[in-house]
A and B are shown apart, each in its own frame.
Chain A
């Protein structure tokens, strides 16, 4: 079976958008109902690693921004090169975990049996990079403090039955300094030490120059946004891990056909010879309206069936 997964925050339906705008009293129930539908769609489409669509995460850092000791919610900041904004975490004291952060933010009860359960979390370097540090001496101190918090959270989630963890690392995809990349890798190792299956997904940046450094990370899978990193630029790379093949464009409504997706995966496999491949979007689907995201999820599933038929 060809592995497949969805990344990060999924778009809300029009019903949910309206409900959140008027702060509907039934919002908590509505979130659960909508999450159930999306998880069912993932399962029906044949996605092997199902994940919570994070509909109630206002940005990828928010549950942490709002619940960690030493962190306060700051101003709206532009989220990389997008017309989307996030609340900047302001670090005012020692970062500490007061209890399970994702307990009410990941709907574990909705995860279907017979599928792998995947949880998406921000990578430590990205959290530090997107924060306003007013406490620690160096950014690297935040990276490792957050890695310890993540390690506790991963441990708790693993005990609830989560088998697969994916750290999303846009800031790391944009990093250039070899020492920074090395330290970030060490922090990721700390964060994921209790994870049975681990992945780091790089997006928003061309990682071709640093791919060998990322392949040194102690994780099972390296995910690549192939809209930012051209496959051809990775030629000659000895891809010693599973490749998260982020070809499906989560920032454009233009629809890739299942065959187009499958053809790209085959090309990537021939060029990089990875240990195995997971088919996925290049990043979070929240940048396109839900009906388009849902069709793209279906097409990922159909592409996997083509690949299975061709024994890829």
Chain B
């Protein structure tokens, strides 16, 4: 891991600016104008993240439609079927796997190069992991789900990661929000993750959110993952009261599992709830961090971030939340005597 405690990072997408959406939807806009708009949005996001004080940045996924749809469009063997409900009137496009999966091209290479050219801080690239790609698709080709997951890992995501690392990616965040959806499939998830990263010289983090069972199903299998950091959602389950007691920090109880199972991995600590507009008091962020340090016993194991990507919030709210995370982290560093 990076040998500095309490680094601040983003997790995923932020809402696209209105002008970017308008340009992309404008039938009269040229390809060059659309690319320029994407570049501008990515640049703006990088600058804002860095100005706020984040230590590890990307581009707020300014070029991606969505975390599943974007890769699915670029993988041979997948065909979109239509939309299915996520909740209420919210839908997502879901693809069918109708042929043997094949890696076609490094679909994140342009954005990685752009971020590396423009970021001054440490760069981390988020990608969608093999288990989530499989779980969110209809399997019409493979005999078993395990075969599908492992082919996503071997034939698509691993080649992608190798290409990204060869192009200079040093930290790769593998997004696996589906990881804990089916507790009985944890072995498949872990094997697929390890298959993707084996022998590749980079730092690997894994983002999992909204597990429904407070991450209990991750254990003990997660201890076998070749994963340097688990970036998880906690704030969504926590109280809004200040303090570092177990009672006040009820949302962070899963941290004890990492300690009890002897996990050496870092924790990307979700300290901001991405589903509400209310902005966290930096003191609350501070206390959440101090509680995590108390449980894990080492501030170098703790990174701070929102629970998940902030794209469901307005840009104003999203950046205010990131600002609160940065301020709260600075307070925690000060409290622990860690130099800024």
Binding site for B on A (CB under 8 A): 11-12, 14, 17, 20-21, 58-59, 76-78, 81-87, 252-254, 286-292
Residues of A within 8 A of B207 (CB): none
Contact indicator A288/B87 (Cβ below 8 Å): no
Contact indicator A84/B139 (Cβ below 8 Å): no
Contact indicator B212/A77 (Cβ below 8 Å): yes
Contact with A along B84-99 (1 / 0, CB 8 A): 1111110110101000
What are 5 A-B interface contacts by the 8 Å CB criterion?
Answer: A20-B89, A58-B87, A59-B87, A78-B210, A254-B96
Instruction: Report the Cα distance A12→B182, complex, angstroms.
Output: 26
Residues of A within 8 A of B136 (CB): 83
Residues of B within 8 A of A290 (CB): 82
Task: Given A58-B88, A83-B135, verify A289-B83 contact (CB < 8 Å).
Answer: yes
| B140 is an interface residue with CB less than 8 A from chain A | yes
| B181 is an interface residue with CB less than 8 A from chain A | yes
| B81 is an interface residue with CB less than 8 A from chain A | yes
Contact indicator B84/A76 (Cβ below 8 Å): no
Task: Given A253-B81, A253-B96, A288-B81, verify A83-B138 contact (CB < 8 Å).
Answer: no
B281 CB → nearest A CB, Å:
22
Residues of A within 8 A of B139 (CB): 252, 254
Residues of B within 8 A of A59 (CB): 87
Residues of B within 8 A of A85 (CB): 86-87
Interface-central residue, A83, A87, A288, A292, by most chain B CB under 10 Å: A83
B210 CB → nearest A CB, Å:
7
Residues of B within 8 A of A81 (CB): 181-182
Instruction: Report the Cα distance A86→B94, complex, angstroms.
Output: 19
Residues of A within 8 A of B82 (CB): 14, 289-292
Instruction: Report the Cα distance A287→B88, complex, angstroms.
Output: 13
Instruction: Report the Cα distance A58→B139, complex, angstroms.
Output: 26
Instruction: Report the Cα distance A252→B97, complex, angstroms.
Output: 11
Contact indicator A253/B181 (Cβ below 8 Å): no
Across chains A and B, the number of contacting residue pairs, with CB separation under 8 Å, is 64
Instruction: Report the Cα distance A77→B181, complex, angstroms.
Output: 12
Interface-central residue, A81, A82, A252, A292, by most chain B CB under 10 Å: A81
Instruction: Report the Cα distance A14→B83, complex, angstroms.
Output: 8
Closest 6 CB pairs of A and B: A289-B82, A85-B87, A78-B212, A20-B89, A254-B140, A253-B138
Interface of B is mostly: strand
Instruction: Report the Cα distance A21→B82, complex, angstroms.
Output: 15
Contact indicator A252/B89 (Cβ below 8 Å): no
| B285 is an interface residue with CB less than 8 A from chain A | no
- Chain B, residue nearest A21 (CB): B89
Interface size class of B (residues with CB under 8 A): 20 to 34
Contact indicator B181/A288 (Cβ below 8 Å): no
| B178 is an interface residue with CB less than 8 A from chain A | yes
Residues of B within 8 A of A254 (CB): 96, 138-140
- Chain A, residue nearest B87 (CB): A85
A53 CB → nearest B CB, Å:
13
Contact indicator B85/A252 (Cβ below 8 Å): no
A101 CB → nearest B CB, Å:
19
Residues of B within 8 A of A287 (CB): 84
Contact with A along B117-145 (1 / 0, CB 8 A): 00000000000000000011011100000
Task: Given A17-B91, A78-B210, A82-B181, verify A288-B138 contact (CB < 8 Å).
Answer: yes
Q: Identify which of A21, A78, A252 contacts B138 (C-beta below 8 A).
A: A252
Interface-central residue, B81, B85, B139, B178, by most chain A CB under 10 Å: B85
Q: Identify which of A83, A253, A291 contacts B86 (C-beta below 8 A).
A: A83
- Chain A, residue nearest B91 (CB): A17
Residues of A within 8 A of B212 (CB): 77-78
Contact indicator B81/A289 (Cβ below 8 Å): yes
Instruction: Report the Cα distance A84→B88, complex, angstroms.
Output: 9
B131 CB → nearest A CB, Å:
12
Q: Identify which of B84, B88, B89 contacts A288 (C-beta below 8 A).
A: B84
Instruction: Report the Cα distance A17→B87, complex, angstroms.
Output: 12
Task: Given A81-B182, A252-B140, verify A292-B88 contact (CB < 8 Å).
Answer: no
Contact with A along B165-209 (1 / 0, CB 8 A): 000000000000010011000000000000000000000000000
Residues of A within 8 A of B181 (CB): 78, 81-83
Instruction: Report the Cα distance A145→B96, complex, angstroms.
Output: 43
A310 CB → nearest B CB, Å:
28
Contact indicator B85/A286 (Cβ below 8 Å): yes
Instruction: Report the Cα distance A76→B136, complex, angstroms.
Output: 19
Contact indicator A84/B85 (Cβ below 8 Å): yes
Residues of B within 8 A of A58 (CB): 87-89
Instruction: Report the Cα distance A113→B166, complex, angstroms.
Output: 67
Contact with A along B208-221 (1 / 0, CB 8 A): 00101000000000
Residues of A within 8 A of B84 (CB): 11, 84, 286-289
